[in-house]
Amino acid sequence: MKKTLVFAMAMALGVSATAFAANPFSDLPAGHWAYASVAKLAAAGIVDGYPDGSFKGDRTMTRYEMAQIVAKALAKGAIGADDKLVGEFADELDNLGVRVAKLEKKSDNVKIAGYVRASYNSVKQEDVKSSSSQIRSRLFLNGAINDNWTYTGMLQNDQALNDNNGNSTTRFQRAFLTGKYGNFKATLGRQQSDLVDGNVYSDRVDAAKLEYGDKIKFTGAVGKMANRDGAFDSQVKTTVTEDNYDGYSDAGRYWRVGLDGKLGKNFNLGFDYIRISDAWCKSASYTPDMTLKAFKAMYTADQWKLGADYILGDGHCADQLSGGKNGYVIMLGVGNAKASKVGSVGFWANYYNQPAASYINNTFNANYSKANGYKGYGVGVDYTVAKNMVAGIQYFDLKDKNDNNKDFKRKTLWSQLIITF
């Protein structure tokens, strides 16, 4: 190992080729290419010479000598504890009394984060009112496997506050691997999926997804919708109950291909083609699969966002649906309530016009009519009341796509407080 490696540490300290420092070594001429760097490191106390005052820059260093330099650089802040040099010389640093033991190094590989959400939901449907309150806790585990692969898991607990029995559910809802090689990214396992900005399906899936590109990104995915309770809330189930509908093992299998691109600084366009297996329609001798073609557009400028999704639906028993096949969502946003910035605020407003043939189980699970779909608007505001504490309120006014169906006119008020840690 050559002493020229110390040049990298000098760069970490911000040493330029013309930096000036007194010459501390007798065998290092002022005209040498490494003169400024070595002199600066010596002045910082990171490198030492020999008793005779020489540096011996052409001599091969031992691992122990290099570990001494790494230890001093670590103490001076020239490098961080996560630097590759610290890992490379961990054993030698341990012998020097520097606490970088294997257990401590491993602890950096696994990180735990989470949030607690307290929410209250009030619904008025015609003259019938109902409400519910809940506390949801989520723990996220992120572990580094190697330079290219990571693991993510998520444990979720839901407790209904208006349940006198104190019932709660705890589920391990996400477990997936993420790998990156250049512009390729692979995600394998149970993961969150927001098909078409969450306006088609916003829940967990068991899938393999591959993405490629940066400004222009290609996406391919194949898998199965993992939330069996909500996967087909918009489905026509006239003869099949919710429970035995789950018996169709191929329900919710899907594949997707997509293309997203950035035009200039502010404009994004995208297209998705999604095909979903719909076992109930097949059993009823209707079109067996649901096909969705989605065109997406989003314009962002400063604090403003304006976007639209246009969704062409087919299959999904579409011939039996009176609400039509094609739908759209218009989205407007202003500002952003950042958990780290007290006083930050964000507003949003969406308009929905989605027949049942254009969605499965979307962001807010708008199960307003299994046959027709829904239309209407939603608005919301989020405000950071304290660091890592964001309060929000949302209001939805939606009705059945069939204006003559008054039973599905619904107004919803949703409030929440999210505490992250």
Mean pLDDT to the nearest integer, 45-61: 69
Work out the mean pLDDT of the chain and round it to a whole number.
78
Q: What is the pLDDT of residues 63-74, one digit of tens each?
A: 767 777 777 777
Same domain, 125 and 94: no
Mean pLDDT to the nearest integer, 399-420: 82
pLDDT band at 18 (very low <50, low <70, confident <90, very high): very low
Domain boundary among 89, 106, 123: 106
pLDDT of residue 175: 95
Same domain, 356 and 405: yes
Containing structural domain, residue 361:
111-420
Q: Highest mean pLDDT: which of 179-183, 274-278, 363-367?
A: 179-183
pLDDT of residue 253: 84
Q: What is the pLDDT of residues 326-340, one digit of tens each?
A: 899 999 999 999 999
Same domain, 295 and 360: yes
Its sign, for the CA torsion 79, 81, 83, 84, is: positive
Same domain, 44 and 102: yes
Indicate whether 309 pLDDT > 90: yes
Same domain, 39 and 145: no
Same domain, 137 and 280: yes
Task: Kindly state the percentage of the chain with pLDDT values over 70.
Answer: 65
User: Domain count of the chain?
Assistant: 2
pLDDT band at 410 (very low <50, low <70, confident <90, very high): confident
Domain boundary among 53, 82, 106: 106
pLDDT of residue 236: 38
CATH at residue 343: 2.40.160.10
Same domain, 57 and 134: no
The rounded distance, in Å, linking the Cα atoms of 193 and 214 is 20
Same domain, 90 and 125: no
Same domain, 30 and 125: no
Indicate whether 248 pLDDT > 50: no
**Better-predicted residue by pLDDT, 282 or 256:** 256
Same domain, 402 and 381: yes
Same domain, 40 and 180: no
Same domain, 403 and 334: yes
**Better-predicted residue by pLDDT, 207 or 409:** 207
pLDDT of residue 1: 43
Domain boundary among 73, 106, 139: 106
